[in-house]
């Protein structure tokens, strides 16, 4: 993207992300990530096989100050060097969001610096810019995480159009739920990827929903049912690595299919992949290959900016702050919210 269009806040921005189960604090200056600390609660929630909202809020409170201290120390600065704050306020778990948002307000008040409340998905959508400031618009983004599976057209900063989404489970949820059926830990995506290494993805044919339908929508609930049936019918003879590889193959096939169809239909020549599931190597490689075959650009952030992180939130806030957007004390956490629009004045 041309540097003029990507005008960022002049000075260190503190990014805060607490929408789900990662407490993340980052310091961003221009496009340079001076620190990106992520304290994950995955181990805590593993015992319940999923996220318990009340436990998540408490854990954010505990992790917040140590993570902030670490982010400041890694970036070699004091709190007094922070010139603006960018915080996720939507969508997500309200109690969890509130921890970050309340902290952001307190810090903004005490430091007498502006703050801006950010839509979590805008962070994911813009995350490829952290590694590639030359990213071109318009392009299509395949946004795949534990809570979201969306296909979005990005016309530019703040100009996003939702093209399609999942009709039921998110892609990350499909990884998590099927991993659980295989007796693997939570979160399941990384566990499935690891177990699938070197295994046979063709061993257990699994369905790709809506494959032949005239839609860009996705659906993963049928996959979960198919894996349940597979586990029940195979019993002790189930080859778990092959099952993991087959699951990964089915999810990747569905996402690659829609990614290609959406990019083609929108008449653009660049596809990005963002969100926690974008950390999946098999998916990254397949999309890269298919885009290359068509002469399209493919961009995806490095793995640390795929899963939830505050660097991407600081980036989304940085351009909004530079364009004059500010939030007030009345800003609230919101469990659901449409994609954000242009800068509000
Ligand atoms: O973006 P994220 O950190 O949190 C949400 O906003 O949801 O995404 C978390 C999701 C989880 O479902 C996790 O299983 C999945 O991303 N994930 C992966 C991998 N690493 C994380 N899925 C597939 N392969 C991976 N390597
Ligand atoms: Zn996320």
User: If you average pLDDT over residues 33-60, what whole number do you get?
Assistant: 89
pLDDT tens digits, residue range 289-322? 999 999 999 999 999 999 999 999 999 999 999 9
* Beta carbons of 118 and 19 less than 8 angstroms apart: no
Mean per-residue pLDDT of the chain: 95
Give the closest residue (by CA) to ligand 1 atom 3: 307
Give the global pTM: 0.95
Q: What is the whole-number distance in angstroms between the Cα of residue 119 and the centre of ligand 1?
A: 18
Q: What is the whole-number distance in angstroms between the Cα of residue 175 and the centre of ligand 1?
A: 8
Split at pLDDT 50, 70, 90, the class of 344 is confident
Give the closest residue (by CA) to ligand 1 atom 22: 189
Answer whether 145 contacts ligand 1 (Cβ < 6 A): yes
Question: If we measure between CA atoms, which residue out of 140, 121, 78, 103 comes closest to residue 15?
Answer: 103
Answer whether 307 contacts ligand 1 (Cβ < 6 A): yes
Q: Which of 47-61, 103-117, 260-274, 309-323 has the lowest average pLDDT?
A: 47-61
- Distance (Å, rounded) from C-alpha 331 to C-alpha 297? 38
- Residue 122: both structure tokens together: 């805008």
* Whether the predicted pLDDT of 122 surpasses 80: yes
Ligand nearest to the Cα of 176, by number:
1
User: If you average pLDDT over residues 142-160, what whole number do you get?
Assistant: 96
Give the closest residue (by CA) to ligand 1 atom 14: 189
User: If you average pLDDT over residues 161-167, what whole number do you get?
Assistant: 97
pLDDT tens digits, residue range 12-21? 999 999 999 9
Spatial CB neighbours of 105, under 8 Å, sequence gap ≥ 6: 115, 329, 331
pLDDT tens digits, residue range 225-269? 999 999 999 999 999 999 999 999 999 999 999 999 999 999 999
Answer whether 301 contacts ligand 1 (Cβ < 6 A): no
CA 172 to chain centre: 10
Q: What is the whole-number distance in angstroms between the Cα of residue 21 and the centre of ligand 2?
A: 10
- What pLDDT is attached to residue 3? 47
Ligand 1 atom nearest the C-alpha of 281 is 26
* Whether the predicted pLDDT of 2 surpasses 80: no
Q: Which of 282-286, 320-324, 341-345 has the lowest average pLDDT?
A: 341-345
Ligand 1 atom nearest the C-alpha of 171 is 12
User: If you average pLDDT over residues 116-141, what whole number do you get?
Assistant: 96
């Amino acid at each position: 993207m041309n540097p003029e269009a990507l005008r960022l806040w002049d000075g260190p921005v503190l990014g805060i992300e607490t929408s789900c189960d990662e407490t993340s604090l980052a310091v961003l200056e221009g496009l340079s990530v001076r620190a990106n600390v992520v304290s994950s609660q995955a181990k805590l929630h593993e015992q319940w096989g999923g996220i318990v909202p009340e436990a998540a809020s408490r854990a954010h409170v505990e992790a917040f100050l140590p993570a902030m201290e670490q982010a400041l120390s890694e970036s070699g600065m004091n709190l007094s060097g922070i010139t603006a704050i960018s915080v996720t306020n939507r969508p997500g778990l309200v109690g969890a969001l509130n921890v970050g948002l309340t902290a952001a307000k307190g810090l903004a008040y005490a430091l007498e610096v502006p703050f801006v409340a950010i839509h979590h998905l805008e962070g994911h959508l813009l995350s490829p810019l952290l590694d590639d400031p030359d990213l071109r618009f318009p392009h299509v983004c395949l946004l795949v995480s534990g809570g979201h599976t969306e296909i979005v057209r990005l016309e530019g900063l703040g100009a996003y159009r939702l093209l399609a989404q999942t009709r039921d489970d998110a892609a990350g949820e499909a990884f998590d739920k099927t991993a659980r059926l295989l007796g693997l830990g939570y979160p399941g995506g990384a566990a499935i990827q690891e177990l699938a290494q070197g295994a046979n993805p063709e061993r257990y044919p699994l369905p790709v929903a809506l494959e032949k339908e005239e839609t860009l929508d996705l659906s993963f609930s049928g996959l979960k049912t198919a894996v349940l049936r597979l586990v029940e019918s195979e019993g002790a003879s189930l080859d778990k690595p092959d099952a993991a590889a087959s699951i990964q193959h089915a999810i990747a096939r569905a996402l690659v299919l829609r990614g290609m169809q959406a990019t083609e239909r929108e008449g653009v020549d660049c596809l990005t992949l963002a969100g926690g599931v974008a950390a999946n190597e098999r998916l990254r490689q397949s999309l890269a290959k298919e885009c290359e075959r068509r002469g399209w650009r493919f961009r995806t952030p490095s793995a640390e900016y795929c899963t939830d992180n505050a660097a991407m939130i600081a980036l989304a806030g940085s351009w909004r702050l530079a364009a004059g957007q500010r939030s007030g004390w009345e800003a609230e956490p919101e469990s659901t919210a449409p994609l954000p629009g242009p800068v509000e004045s």
